[in-house]
Structures are given as structure tokens and as C-alpha cells.
């Protein structure tokens, strides 16, 4: 039987005929019509994690326009993924080619970044070698991977990898090494071992990571051949085993320790990690059924953790970098120890102990990169000034509570005489001093913590509320009814999202909204819709982004009730939906009665640009349509009005149409969250501002959707479910998924003998 750590039998292969493991399902025995546990492709995760590295911090007009185009393409990719779920798109050639075109376009516009000055007349020829390398990598990827989803995932990581892709500052030898490794695999599959060895040797000379893989060159991988591949190519799968990521991590650690200025200053460290992530994903895409390949959590760590280390919020310390990368190395070693058979016996380690070690390593990484910097920021701020080591969101909530305790309506007050005035480096960005731009539950709900802290320790930081919320979110994700490895993938992608981490550290309130959304999803999975409506109502009373859940939740209720009473689905839905309206109305009503004009100005006019001191239109350094409006001169100034709300409404209509179609077919928490993430992404893109925090929250919402199982799947049925095989092969199975298994089971071996 499967031990639960191998993907539900996905990675188990018999090394000896006396093995006691039971075979997986035979080809063609999959249950037709069964809803698969996941709807989002692995390639969407890879595209997003790579794109986050390419989007980081545009600094001038050309790079900002490139970032805007890249963000638009990223949203388009998710729209294609959600509109055509995995069980359909895996066999839909048109959708596959559309997704491949989006990836290639995304890679093409980013490879032009070194020649972005061409927009002002500078020559564009420096981008030509990068385009050639990308074209070769794309062709080799499409040739190697056996299935549509694996082709897209491999195409994404070789063309969009932020550490080796030919963009500004990238390491050209690293990209060349990846292209040569891909070419060597193609030659090996074509039964040309000498040319393959020559290409691999050149790749090893360009990259130490590729050189480390040459040790395993002629060792045969203990698994079945790839579709259409003969014996000579089997050794190349062994070359790409999971020893490469931790070998690369060790080299990066040594470089980081030798150069204690930080990760970016360490020679070859980013490029080395980039090559390791590419080769790890290559081995996963080529043969997800092999007993020796790195898990997807390792790939996610290699792609996301260096981005966090290169962000301004990370400590500039070589020891800190070495410890963070050391945890990744330890995880990869644990993965390697469990997955590589020794003498035909089962891998060592009991399932429970190994799973606990994996959870401990991931939690240690989150604690090191998120929780410890947040705790340090709280203590450092207390020892310094109130405007240091904190975000203005947390400061405004604190000052609003003080106004409320003094008997003043915080919506009718300004913050010009509070410490917030020292937080803003530019007067143009200080519009938040004149309005409270959030619904009140996050403020009044924090009052008990404020009063308790003042009565005990004599000082308060709003992160006293947000830090427990973060811990609660982690606990809920760890209890998601999905395979254990996908819980860890969700932890890594959500809480190590490089655009989400700074908001967690400095005190933005997105984590509070995320906690309420998670509670809502738990209630939806338990079919407790009235309870879910209460959680949605509290989220709407906390922040405006939760309002986008209301129409989706209403559609979900109507389509679920249609089968019971076809004549009155609306009336039945309203019986469950009313708390989602009544709860925020009851929380906001006292402030509307107190001063309706101030409430509307802060929550509507300030964000729409219709009142004095409105939030300015953001241009350079952002990722949305507002940058195009401002840089193209469609408005006189950043404070001018522009009908962004109209564009948001028009863009939301296709998403709602997709929502109706998807929720009618599969009215589950998984589809609800995926559509909510897409709608948030679209709304932010066409708003007056699409900054790092908005992008981080939208992407984390989409990442969360990939970890949610189908509504009819129970934890007992999914305990041994396989995530990798399903996402790569698109094969449906009630307890997970299995790729085509071409090896005979023990009974068949005995019978043939």
C-alpha cells in the first residue's frame, strides 16, 4: 500500500519482484466522470512564481510598461486556466497553444528589458542573443515533455526563470547551460549519446550545478521509460535527480557566507539557484512517476525564497541567507533520502515522522523569513519612533482606535497631527492623512487587543493582532483536506510570496481578510452556507477586497439550490445569503448615522478619485492600467479623476460569465476561491493603483485555490492522493490521480514468471 508520502503510489516502482506494494490502477481503468481534486494546472503555479521575479520593482517608464504588460498576460493565463480546468485543458490542443503563446509573449517582452531604451531610439540588438536562447529552450522543452501540462510547465521555467532568463542582470552562462542540458536530453532521447555527452560536458563547464549532474550521467533511473523513449535516454533522467537542488543550495550557501552583504552580492548564487530550480522542474516534468525526483515544494522554495531574500525587507546578512538556503537544502536532502530506493528496499523513514520533519522545515523557513522579521519590527519600532518599521495601514488603525476611544468619529478626522505625518517621504503620497479608507471592523475588532496591551505592557502595535492572524492562517492551511505535500506547497506559495511577505512583516491588514476568507471556505466545504455568509460579512466589514466575494457567493448559492427547487432558487439562496449583507450593514450603520458624508468620502470617493485629497493615480513602479493612463498623459495629474470604475466593471463581466459557467458545473469552495482570486486580480489591475501589496494578495488568493480539493472529496479519501501526476497528466481518479502506468504489478510479474 502507499505510505502517503510518495504521492499515493505515484512514485512507487518495484525494484524487486518480491516487493509487497500493491500496483496502481491499470491504464484505462480510471473512473469516468469523477471530478478531479484540483482544477488549476501546475503550469499556472510555475508561470506565476517565475513572473513574480520578473515583475519586481520597475524603476522607470519603459520597465513599468513592460511590467504592466507582463501582469496583464499573467492574469490572462489564469483566466485561461480557470475557464478551462485541468480535466478538459489537458486534452484541449487549442487551449494548450493559447497558454504557450502567452508564455512565449511574456518571455519575449521581458527579454527586451535590456533594450528597453529602444522605446527612445536606442538599439535593440542586445536582446537578440537572449531571444535566440529563449527560442532554443522553448523548442527543446516542447520536444521533451510528454503531456500538454508538463510542456507548459517546462516551457515556463526555462523561459521565465527570473534568475537565468536573459533579462537585465541575468547570468548568460547559466542560461546557456540550461539550453545545453535540454539539448543533451533531446540528443539522448534520439539515441545520440556521444553528442549528448559533449553537450552535457559543455554545460558542466558553464555551470557547477550541471557539472554535479554529470556524476549520475550513465546511471539508469529505476523507472519505466518515457513515452516514446528507449533505453539510452534512461540515464539522463538520473542526471536530473533531486541531488542537483541541494548541490546548488550548498554552493549558494558557501557564496553567501563568503560575501556577507546578502544574496544578490553573492557571486553566482542567484544563477546557481535558477539552474537548480530549472533542472528540478525538468526532472519532475520528464518523469513524475520516477522514484527519484524533487518534489514540487523544493521547486517552489528555489523560485520564491531567493526573491524574498533579495527584497528590502530581508536582513542583509550572509548568515541569514545561509540559514534560509540551508533549510531548503535540508528539505531536499530529506526528499532525496525518502525517494531514492536502496538495494531494492523501501525508502527509509516512517510516513508520520517524515511528514512531521517536512512540516517543521517549512514552518522554520516561514518563521525565519516572515515571523521573526515581523517580531523584530515590532520590537525595533518600540525602541525607535512610531513611524519606523511599520506600514501606514497599521499606523492608521492605531490612530483610528485612539480617535474612537476619545469619542470622535475617525472617518471625520484627519491624521495630520499624528505620527503618521512623518511616515510619508513625499507630500504627494500623503493623501491618506485626510481620509480613513477602510471599513470599520478591522478597527473596532482590534480594540480589545489595544486595551489589553495598554493595561499590561503600556504600549501597542497593531501587529499584536495581525501576527496571531498569520499563525491562525498557517494552522488552517495545514489542516486543509488535501494531500500533505500540497498543504506544504500551499504554505510555501502563499506565505513566502515575495509580494505578500513585506505586507505581513510591516503590518498590512490583508492577513486579517485572508483569515476570514479561509474560515468562509471551510464553512462552504462543510455546506454551512449561513455560517460562510457571516464570515464573508465580517470580511466585507474589514476591507473592500472582500466585497468581490459577494456576487460569487450569491451565484454559488443559486446554482446549488437550483436542483432542489427549480422554481425558486433565488428565494432559497437569500435564506443563506442574508448574513453577508446584514453583518457588514450592522457594523457600518453607526458610522453612517454618525457622519454619512465622511464615511462615503473615505470608502468610496477617496478610492475613486472624486473627493479632495483622493488617492493619487500610481504610475512608475506599479503593475496596472493606471500606469498606462498616467504615463500616456490621459490625465493632467496623478490627483485627477479618471473613470477606472467603469473599466473595472467592464473587465469584471467576463469573469462573472466564467463564474456562472464554472460554478454551475462545480459549485465548490475550490472554484469559489479561484474565481475570487481572478476577480480581485482584475479589479486591482484596472484600479487607480496596483501596487506590490495588491499583487501579492491577488496571487496568494490564486495560490490558495490550487490547494483546495473538490467539494465531494474527504480527507480520508485524499490522504494518499497524488497532486503531481494529476496536474501533469490530467487523469481523473477518486482518491487522487495516477499517470499512465506501464509497469506490471506484483501479481502480473508472478503470473508471467
Give residue 210's pLDDT: 56
Q: What are the grid coordinates assigned to 579, written together?
A: 448574513
User: Does residue 64 form part of some domain?
Assistant: yes
- Residues spanned by the domain of 238: 216-340
| Spatial CA neighbour of 679 closest among 573, 557, 563, 548 | 548
Give the integer Cα–Cα distance in Å for 501 and 489: 16
CA pair distance 615, 630, nearest whole angstrom: 14
Would you say residue 328 has pLDDT above 50?
Answer: yes
Q: pLDDT of 1-34, one tens digit each?
A: 333 333 333 233 323 322 333 333 333 333 333 2
Residue 559 sits in the same domain as residue 690: yes
690 and 562 in a single domain? The answer is yes
Residue range 29-42: mean pLDDT, rounded: 41
Residue that is last in its domain, among 666, 684, 707: 707
In this structure, of 307-316, 463-472, 701-710, the range with the lowest mean pLDDT score is 307-316
Q: At what angle do helices 148-160 and 42-55 cross, to 10 degrees?
A: 10
Residue with cell 526532472: 283
* Tens of pLDDT, residues 257-277: 444 445 555 555 677 778 778
Kindly report the average pLDDT of the chain as a whole number: 75
Both 234 and 99 in one domain: the answer is: no
Q: 231 and 163: one domain? A: no
569 is written with which cell numbers? 432558487
Q: Which residue has the higher pLDDT, 752 or 455?
A: 455
CA-based end-to-end distance of the chain: 23
What's the average model confidence in pLDDT over 48-54? 90
Same domain for 539 and 683, yes or no, is: yes
Q: Range with the lowest mean pLDDT among 18-27, 452-461, 508-517? A: 18-27
Q: Determine phi and psi for 342, rounding to 5 degrees.
A: -125, 120
C-alpha cell at 242: 533531486
State how far the Cα of 185 lies from the Cα of 290, in Å rounded to an integer. Answer: 16
pLDDT band, very low/low/confident/very high, at 374 (cuts 50, 70, 90): very high
Residue 415 counted as domain residue: no
- 220, 161: one domain: no
Measure Cα distances from 470 to 366, 533, 650 in Å. Answer: 11, 22, 34
Domain boundary among 169, 202, 236: 169
* 575 plus 703 within the same structural domain: yes
3-state secondary structure of 31: coil
Q: Are residues 623 and 546 in the same domain?
A: yes
Residue 567: which pLDDT band, with cuts at 50, 70 and 90? very low
Co-location of 150 and 231 in the same domain: no
Residue 243, pLDDT > 50, answer no
Entry pTM: 0.82
Q: What is the DSSP annotation of 677-710?
A: HHHHHHHHHTSS---HHHHHHHHHHHHHHHH---
Name the residue with higher pLDDT: 165 or 630: 630
Decide if 581 is inside a domain: yes
Residue where one domain finishes, among candidates 340, 373, 394: 340
Query: Are residues 150 and 232 both part of a single domain?
Result: no
Q: Is 396 domain-assigned? A: no
Q: 88-97, 285-294, 545-554, 607-616 — which is least confidently predicted?
A: 285-294
Residue 659: inside a domain: yes
> Within a domain: residue 685?
yes
CA angle, residues 284, 82, 513, in degrees to nearest 5:
100
Same domain, 239 and 335: yes
Question: Residue 534: inside a domain, yes or no?
Answer: yes
Query: Which pLDDT score is estimated for 456?
Result: 94
Based on the fold, state whether residues 601 and 675 are members of the same structural domain: yes
The total number of structural domains in the chain stands at: 3
In a domain, 80, yes or no: yes
Amino acid at each position: 500500500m502507499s505510505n502517503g508520502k510518495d504521492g499515493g503510489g505515484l512514485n512507487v516502482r518495484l525494484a524487486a519482484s518480491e516487493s509487497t506494494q500493491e500496483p496502481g490502477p491499470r491504464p484505462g481503468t480510471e473512473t469516468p466522470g469523477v471530478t478531479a481534486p484540483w482544477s488549476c494546472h501546475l503550469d499556472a503555479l510555475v508561470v506565476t512564481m517565475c513572473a513574480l521575479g520578473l515583475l519586481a520593482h520597475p524603476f522607470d517608464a519603459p520597465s513599468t510598461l513592460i511590467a504592466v504588460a507582463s501582469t496583464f498576460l499573467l492574469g490572462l493565463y489564469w483566466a485561461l486556466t480557470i475557464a478551462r480546468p485541468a480535466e478538459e485543458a489537458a486534452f484541449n490542443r487549442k487551449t494548450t497553444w493559447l497558454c504557450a503563446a502567452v508564455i512565449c509573449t511574456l518571455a519575449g517582452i521581458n527579454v527586451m528589458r535590456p533594450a528597453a531604451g529602444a522605446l527612445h531610439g536606442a538599439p535593440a540588438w542586445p536582446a537578440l542573443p537572449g531571444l535566440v536562447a529563449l527560442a532554443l529552450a522553448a523548442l527543446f522543452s516542447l520536444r521533451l515533455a510528454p503531456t500538454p501540462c508538463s510542456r507548459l510547465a517546462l516551457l515556463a521555467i526555462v523561459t521565465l526563470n527570473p534568475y537565468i532568463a536573459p533579462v537585465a542582470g541575468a547570468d548568460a552562462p547559466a542560461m546557456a547551460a540550461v539550453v545545453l542540458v535540454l539539448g543533451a536530453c533531446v540528443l539522448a532521447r534520439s539515441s545520440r549519446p556521444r553528442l549528448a555527452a559533449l553537450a552535457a560536458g559543455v554545460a558542466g563547464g558553464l555551470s557547477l550545478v550541471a557539472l554535479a549532474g554529470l556524476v549520475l550521467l550513465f546511471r539508469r533511473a529505476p523507472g519505466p521509460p518515457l513515452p516514446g523513449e528507449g533505453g539510452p535516454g534512461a540515464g539522463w533522467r538520473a542526471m536530473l535527480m533531486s541531488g542537483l537542488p541541494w548541490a546548488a543550495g550548498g554552493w549558494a550557501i558557501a557564496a553567501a557566507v563568503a560575501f556577507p552583504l546578502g544574496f544578490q552580492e553573492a557571486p553566482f548564487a542567484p544563477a546557481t539557484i535558477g539552474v537548480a530550480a530549472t533542472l528540478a522542474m525538468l526532472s519532475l516534468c520528464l518523469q513524475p512517476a520516477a522514484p527519484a525526483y524533487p518534489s514540487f515544494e523544493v521547486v517552489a522554495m528555489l523560485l520564491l525564497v531567493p526573491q524574498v531574500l533579495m527584497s528590502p525587507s530581508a536582513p542583509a546578512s550572509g548568515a541569514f541567507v545561509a540559514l534560509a538556503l540551508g533549510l531548503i537544502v535540508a528539505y531536499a536532502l530529506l526528499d532525496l533520502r525518502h525517494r531514492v530506493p536502496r538495494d531494492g528496499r523501501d525508502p527509509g523513514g516512517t510516513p508520520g515522522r517524515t511528514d512531521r520533519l517536512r512540516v517543521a522545515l517549512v514552518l522554520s523557513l516561514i518563521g525565519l523569513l516572515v515571523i521573526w522579521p515581523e517580531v523584530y519590527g515590532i520590537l525595533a519600532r518600540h525602541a525607535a519612533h512610531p513611524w519606523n518599521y511599520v506600514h501606514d495601514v497599521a499606523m492608521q488603525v492605531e490612530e483610528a482606535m485612539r480617535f474612537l476611544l476619545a469619542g470622535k468619529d475617525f472617518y471625520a478626522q484627519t491624521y495630520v497631527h499624528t505620527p503618521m505625518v512623518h511616515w510619508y517621504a513625499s507630500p504627494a503620497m500623503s493623501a491618506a492623512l485626510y481620509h480613513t479608507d477602510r471599513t470599520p471592523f478591522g478597527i473596532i475588532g482590534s480594540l480589545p487587543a489595544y486595551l489589553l496591551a495598554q493595561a499590561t505592557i503600556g504600549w501597542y502595535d497593531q501587529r499584536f493582532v495581525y501576527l496571531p492572524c498569520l499563525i491562525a492562517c498557517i494552522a488552517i492551511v495545514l489542516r486543509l483536506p488535501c494531500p500533505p505535500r500540497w498543504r506544504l506547497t500551499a504554505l510555501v506559495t502563499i506565505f513566502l510570496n515575495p509580494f505578500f511577505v513585506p505586507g505581513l512583516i510591516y503590518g498590512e491588514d490583508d492577513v486579517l481578510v485572508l483569515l476570514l476568507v479561509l474560515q468562509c471556505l471551510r464553512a462552504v466545504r462543510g455546506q454551512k452556507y449561513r455560517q460562510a455568509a457571516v464570515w464573508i460579512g465580517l470580511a466585507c466589514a474589514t476591507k473592500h477586497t472582500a466585497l468581490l466575494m459577494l456576487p460569487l457567493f450569491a451565484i454559488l448559492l443559486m446554482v446549488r439550490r437550483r436542483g432542489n427547487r427549480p422554481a425558486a432558487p433565488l428565494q432559497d439562496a437569500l435564506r443563506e445569503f442574508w448574513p453577508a449583507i446584514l453583518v457588514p450593514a450592522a457594523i457600518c450603520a453607526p458610522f453612517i448615522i454618525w457622519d454619512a458624508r465622511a464615511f462615503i468620502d473615505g470608502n468610496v470617493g477617496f478610492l475613486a478619485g472624486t473627493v479632495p485629497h483622493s488617492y493619487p493615480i500610481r504610475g512608475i513602479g506599479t503593475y496596472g492600467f493606471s500606469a498606462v493612463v498616467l504615463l500616456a498623459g490621459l490625465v493632467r495629474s496623478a490627483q485627477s479623476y479618471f473613470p477606472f470604475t467603469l473599466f473595472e466593471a467592464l473587465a469584471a463581466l467576463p469573469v462573472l460569465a466564467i463564474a456562472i459557467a464554472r460554478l454551475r458545473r462545480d459549485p465548490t469552495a475550490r472554484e469559489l476561491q479561484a474565481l475570487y482570486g481572478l476577480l480581485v486580480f482584475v479589479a486591482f489591475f484596472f484600479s487607480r493603483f496596483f501596487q506590490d501589496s495588491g499583487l501579492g494578495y491577488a496571487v496568494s488568493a490564486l495560490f490558495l485555490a490550487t490547494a483546495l480539493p473538490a467539494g465531494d472529496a474527504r480527507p480520508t479519501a485524499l490522504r494518499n492522493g497524488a497532486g503531481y501526476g494529476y496536474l501533469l497528466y490530467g487523469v481523473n481518479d477518486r482518491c487522487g490521480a495516477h499517470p499512465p502506468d506501464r509497469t506490471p504489478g506484483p501479481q502480473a510479474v508472478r503470473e508471467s514468471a
